[in-house]
């Protein structure tokens, strides 16, 4: 299905980001570094990625012609462990965005206490315009191109926007043809190939856990609380499902094709079945349609952006009517909008905390692969819960002690751990 945007959504998208993604990320890093009184040498090292890789991804189209795309892998920092981060297929992928997302991974893995560094990758194209066979050839060629720089103890990719367990299976197979059995080279694989039970749902489950902890901490009853979710892919749909099971009322959801709204709340398992069959939330019965731009400004308790970056920005922040933002997506809030939200007393559970469930269970998958073990879904979910609640408590304690936003507190926790590891290693 092609991507379609209404006039209002187009205007909204054009207004979206006025600052480069990496500059926005560094503005937040510098603010946290100031609060930590971080040593200038360490600060300048952590500002720069360790390695940036750009590759030409040549592949054959179904009609026999040769085509090529540009792919990236940015390895931001590995003082705490091998580089770790997802790979996204999206037309808006560029080096600047990948660089920013890689840095976020460094703070995220440190914050939740998994022994990884930070990386990110992507290919700039719209996968909906390519056949299954073309996607397989693109994925395999990309992984072949970055082969010297990945490995179970070097750099471990995972799924992100528009990539999934099938893409991870192709990556793993491509790598193993050169290096032998090595399932730990990627996470988010199919369970049949060494993937972990609970990994597919992990990011969304984590978003739901952080929503629940936020509700509890700030004295909101989650049962019956209204939730709006932008994006109904891996993160958004699992977050909706787990929050629905927790008793929350999901009143609006959207995907790239459009949004739907029902003030009474959706029966999420039915909506998920509908999306599996039709490929979109659009047209779901007993709902009125809503544009993505309007969905973000609906009155609700919890707004969960779970699609693109920069969607909460100066053009719409004044209109937001939620009580809390739980960042399922990476970098959905620009720094200027984040400041306004703080002034408006809308509390934000930041991306590096709210969506850290994915990398946490990726770590569990990696450990199971290295030890050739298989844990039950219940074991995985319990360990995930423990790690995320511990990270939430650390962030909230610092937020209260220093009177800083939850984002600043989360950055401070993550950056402090990475800076300490850097100092201990020496240069």
Cβ-based neighbour number of residue 279 at 10 Å: 12
Positions annotated as catalytic residues are 120
Query: Is 183 or 236 the residue whose CB approaches ligand NAD more closely?
Result: 236
Report how far residue 310's alpha carbon sits from residue 168's, in angstroms, rounded to the nearest whole number. Answer: 27
Least distance from ligand NAD to the Cβ atom of residue 157, Å = 12
Cβ-based neighbour number of residue 45 at 10 Å: 16
Near ligand NAD by CB under 6 A, which window of 24-32, 219-227, 304-312, 415-423? 304-312
Residue 190, interface with ligand NAD (CB under 6 A)?
Answer: no
For 303, phi then psi, to 5°, come to -105, 125
Report how far residue 320's alpha carbon sits from residue 344's, in angstroms, rounded to the nearest whole number. Answer: 10
Residue 162, interface with ligand NAD (CB under 6 A)?
Answer: yes
Q: Report helix, strand or coil for 60.
A: strand
Q: Which residues of 159-170 are buried (b: 16+ CB within 10 A; e: fewer)?
A: bbbbbebebbbb
Q: Report helix, strand or coil for 48.
A: coil
Query: Is 222 or 282 the residue whose CB approaches ligand NAD more closely?
Result: 282
Query: Is 333 or 355 the residue whose CB approaches ligand NAD more closely?
Result: 355
For ligand NAD, the binding residue among 136, 155, 255, 301 (CB under 6 A) is 255
Least distance from ligand NAD to the Cβ atom of residue 313, Å = 13
Please report, in angstroms and rounded to a whole number, the separation of the first and last CA atoms in the chain: 51
Least distance from ligand NAD to the Cβ atom of residue 44, Å = 27
Residue 391, interface with ligand NAD (CB under 6 A)?
Answer: no
Residue 87, interface with ligand NAD (CB under 6 A)?
Answer: no
Residue 160, interface with ligand NAD (CB under 6 A)?
Answer: yes
Across 202-248, where does the E strand assignment appear? 226-230
Report how far residue 332's alpha carbon sits from residue 310's, in angstroms, rounded to the nearest whole number. Answer: 4
Q: Name the nearest CA neighbour of 338 among 93, 22, 11, 25.
A: 25
Least distance from ligand NAD to the Cβ atom of residue 161, Å = 4
Residue 353, interface with ligand NAD (CB under 6 A)?
Answer: no
Query: Is 49 or 358 the residue whose CB approaches ligand NAD more closely?
Result: 358
Near ligand NAD by CB under 6 A, which window of 46-54, 61-69, 254-262, 366-374? 254-262
Least distance from ligand NAD to the Cβ atom of residue 39, Å = 30
Q: Contact letters (x/-) for ligand NAD, 306-345, by CB under 6 A?
A: xxx-------------------xxx---------------
Residue 243, interface with ligand NAD (CB under 6 A)?
Answer: no
Say how far residue 61 (Cα) sits from the centre of its chain: 30
Q: Name the nearest CA neighbour of 12 among 256, 324, 311, 338.
A: 311
Residue 365, interface with ligand NAD (CB under 6 A)?
Answer: no
- What the block records as the tokens of 116 is 């990884």
In the complex, which residues of this chain contact ligand NAD (CB under 6 A)?
86, 159-162, 203, 230-236, 254-256, 292, 306-308, 328-330, 355, 358
């Amino acid at each position: 299905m092609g991507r379609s945007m209404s006039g209002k959504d187009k205007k909204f998208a054009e207004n979206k980001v006025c600052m480069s993604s990496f500059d926005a990320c560094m503005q937040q890093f510098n603010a946290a570094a100031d609060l930590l009184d971080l040593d200038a040498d360490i600060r300048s090292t952590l500002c720069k990625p360790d390695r940036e890789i750009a590759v030409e991804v040549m592949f054959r189209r179904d009609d026999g012609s040769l085509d090529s795309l540009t792919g990236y892998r940015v390895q931001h920092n590995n003082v705490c462990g091998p580089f770790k981060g997802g790979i996204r297929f999206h037309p808006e992928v560029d080096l600047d965005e990948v660089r920013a997302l890689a840095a976020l991974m460094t703070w995220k893995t440190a914050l939740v206490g998994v022994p990884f560094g930070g990386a990110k990758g992507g290919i700039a194209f719209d996968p909906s315009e390519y056949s299954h066979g073309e996607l397989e050839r693109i994925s395999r060629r990309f992984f072949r191109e970055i082969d010297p720089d990945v490995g179970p103890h070097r750099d471990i990719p995972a799924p992100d926007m528009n990539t999934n367990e099938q893409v991870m299976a192709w990556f793993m197979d491509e790598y193993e043809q050169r290096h032998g059995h090595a399932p730990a080279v990627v996470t988010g694989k199919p369970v049949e190939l060494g993937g972990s039970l609970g990994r597919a749902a992990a990011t969304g489950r984590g978003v739901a856990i952080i929503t629940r902890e936020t509700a509890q901490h700030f004295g909101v009853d989650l049962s019956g609380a209204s939730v709006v979710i932008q994006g109904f892919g891996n993160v958004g749909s699992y977050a909706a499902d787990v929050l629905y099971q927790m008793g929350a009322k999901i009143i609006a959801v959207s995907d790239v094709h459009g949004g739907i709204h029902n003030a009474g709340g959706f029966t999420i398992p039915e909506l998920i079945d509908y999306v599996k069959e039709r490929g979109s939330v659009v047209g779901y019965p007993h709902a009125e349609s809503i544009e993505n731009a309007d969905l973000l400004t609906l009155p609700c308790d919890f707004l969960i952006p779970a699609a693109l970056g920069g969607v909460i920005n100066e053009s719409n922040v004044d209109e937001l009517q939620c009580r809390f933002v739980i960042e399922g997506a990476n970098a959905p809030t620009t720094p200027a909008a984040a400041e306004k939200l703080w002034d408006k007393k809308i509390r934000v559970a930041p991306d590096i905390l709210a969506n850290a469930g994915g990398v946490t269970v990726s770590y569990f998958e990696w450990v199971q692969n290295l030890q050739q073990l298989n844990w039950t879904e219940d074991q995985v979910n319990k360990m995930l819960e423990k790690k995320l609640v511990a990270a939430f408590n650390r962030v909230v304690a610092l937020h209260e002690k220093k009177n800083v936003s939850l984002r600043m507190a989360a950055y401070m926790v993550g950056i402090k751990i990475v800076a300490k590891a850097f100092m201990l290693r020496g240069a």
